[in-house]
Amino acid sequence: MSSYPDARSVVRALKPDEPIILNRPHAAARAARFFQKNFPGKSLYAVKANPSAELIELLWANGITHYDVASIAEVRLVRRLLSEAELCFMHPVKAPGAIREAYFDHGVRTFSLDSSEELAKIVAATTSENGEPARNLRLLVRLRVSSEYSELSLASKFGCDLTEAPALLQECRQWADWLGVCFHVGSQAMTPFAYVQALERARAAIAEASVVVDVVDVGGGFPSVYPGMEPPPLEDYFTIIHRQFEALPIAYNAELWCEPGRALCAEYSSLVVRVEKRRGDELFINDGSYGALFDAAHVAWKFPVVALEDDLIKPLQDFAFYGPTCDDADFMEGPFALPEDIQAGDYIEIGMLGAYGAAMKTDFNGFGATRSVVVEDEPMASLYDGSRVRPAADNVVSLR
């Protein structure tokens, strides 16, 4: 992959007609090392946040040995890249064939579930041809917890509640070599208290079930930095989680796990787009809701932006973006603060798109980034560089 000092040099060298993804391997490596060093347990990378092969290999090289996978395609992908990695199938509703292939062909032993039906499915799919049930299953019961402290909810779809969890834990204990609980507090949890509340639920479920628990997995939800969303330091999350974990009624050698997606890769990528047309305070850019900007359109997520032309001298004003496809839904309200004199032909860098950005893009209508390059500068904001924000991120206005 070609490498450039920064977005401006990419634009100068390539004058790209199509959007380009800029990857910052040093930023993802730094995030991985931070979790390795500071999280008081094991950190699994949640592959769905960004399944790029380069990123997965980079995380492995920086100490991430466990991967949270949710589909058989993710199982195959990570196994193909990393023959030694520990894969954990953390989707609570799986196809029987996916469980079978994961277990027998790819060495997956860890599965999550939230119902007796799913337990029966897992047991059946991992039973050998001569009728021997698997003896090495690691089962994690997914609890439903509140998403009230997070920007994106994961609360309604999965997880069993406190009336069901104790019986399911007891049932799983009979089949599991290792038994655990897991949950997800919702993505971009803006306060560590989200985990306190969830761990209180875990405690209630474990106490009620009175079974031996070998692993407590606090899931994802660790935040990154975006305009108007400046979370407390991750160390605060880790400290509080560790304190709560230590007080749980679990095996003395029980493990603590987490499954960061966003926090490990948000800083990894940004995107260079070009303005193709200006209509008042609306800019028509060449990527959008079907491209790497799904969240900007669908949940009005605010990403930092910076204009890349040296000759734009006017003060900033708020703009909305239209993406390139032919429908009105391809719209991002922002607001995105850019120089008043920006016009068609000018390039913009949109930051913090390593998580749920590059991963979401489609080819719909023939648009979207097909190329990525490496850049060496800092991401527009970082939780890991000690300074938090580089000057370019001042170029941002938030609604909150």
Ligand X SMILES: *Cc1c(COP(=O)(O)O)cnc(C)c1O
Using CB under 6 A, list all residues that contact ligand X.
Answer: 46, 48-49, 68, 90, 184, 187, 219-222, 259-263, 355
Report the C-alpha gap between 6 and 378 in whole angstroms.
9
Beta-carbon contacts of residue 328 (< 8 Å; ≥ 6 apart): none
Measured from the CB atom, the residue of 49 and 271 that comes closer to ligand X is 49
Q: How many CA atoms lie within 13 A of 15 on its CB side?
A: 1
Q: How many CA atoms lie within 13 A of 158 on its CB side?
A: 21
Report the C-alpha gap between 70 and 91 in whole angstroms.
5
Both structure tokens of 94: 């799986």
Q: How far is the CB of 48 from ligand X (least distance, A)?
A: 5
Say which amino acid occupies 197. Answer: Q
Report CA-CA distances (Å) from 283 to 11, 232, 274: 18, 33, 9
Beta-carbon contacts of residue 117 (< 8 Å; ≥ 6 apart): none
Q: How far is the CB of 158 from ligand X (least distance, A)?
A: 8
Q: How far is the CB of 297 from ligand X (least distance, A)?
A: 19
Q: What is the DSSP string of 291-340?
A: TTTHHHHHS-----EEE--TT--SPEEEEEEE-SSSSTT-EEEEEEEEET
Both structure tokens of 30: 């730094």
Q: How far is the CB of 268 from ligand X (least distance, A)?
A: 13
Q: How far is the CB of 46 from ligand X (least distance, A)?
A: 3
Which of 232, 253, 157, 132 lies closest to 188 in space, CA to CA? Answer: 232
DSSP designation for 189: E
Q: What is the number of the residue whose Cβ is closest to ligand X?
A: 220
Both structure tokens of 192: 């560590």
Question: Is 172 a residue of the active site?
Answer: no
Report the C-alpha gap between 323 and 291 in whole angstroms.
8
Q: How far is the CB of 112 from ligand X (least distance, A)?
A: 7
Measured from the CB atom, the residue of 151 and 349 that comes closer to ligand X is 151
Report the C-alpha gap between 168 and 213 in whole angstroms.
13
Options 88, 172, 258, 326, the catalytic residue = 326
Active site residues: 326
